[in-house]
Amino acid sequence: MEKTFVMLKSDGLKRGLLGEVLSRIEKKGYKVLALKIQNLTKDQLDKHYYEHLERPYFPSLVEYLTSGPVVHMVIGGDNVISGIRKLNGATDPEKAEMGSVRGDLAINMTKNLIHASDSLENAEREINLYFSDDEIVQY
């Protein structure tokens, strides 16, 4: 089964949106294979978002993502990597379609509520940043 890494960003838990987001993922038929609530460190974010280290928005992204706990998930299903990206909607919530998680629920470009891996390579890399093999189930 294809697997992807999803993170509910720090405003999600504060706003009580974990159930809503999990519900959308489950209703689509994807499987929750691992789940973890954690406070992120700057070091973890440097690794996770290494492609964005030099971007002007990186400091505010770090501030946002260390402002409260996040929820890490491994989600499985057919073509789940592209499927969850579609379910999440465009990076900018103002451009994300209504019906998508970001279109319906997210605040702005930085506080865009949810992350999902964008390729098989990044899915494997990101899953390994936050989970060990024995924390991921199959069913």
* 112 interacts with, out of ligand CDP, Mg ion, none, CB within 5 to 8 A per kind: ligand CDP
Closest CA to 35 of 14, 67, 7: 7
Report residue 101: phi and psi, to 5°. -60, -50
**90: number of Cβ within 10 Å:** 17
Does position 103 interact with ligand CDP (CB under 6 A)? The reply is no
Between 5 and 30, CB nearer to ligand CDP: 5
Angle at 10 between CA 7 and CA 11, to 5 degrees: 115
**82: number of Cβ within 10 Å:** 13
Between 26 and 92, CB nearer to Mg ion: 92
Q: For this structure, is 115 an active site residue? A: yes
Residues 31-70 that bind ligand CDP (CB under 6 A): 52, 57, 61
Does position 91 interact with ligand CDP (CB under 6 A)? The reply is yes
Report residue 51: phi and psi, to 5°. -70, -15
Binding segment toward Mg ion, per CB under 5 A, in 53-61, 82-90, 99-107, 117-125: 117-125
**Active-site residue set:** 115
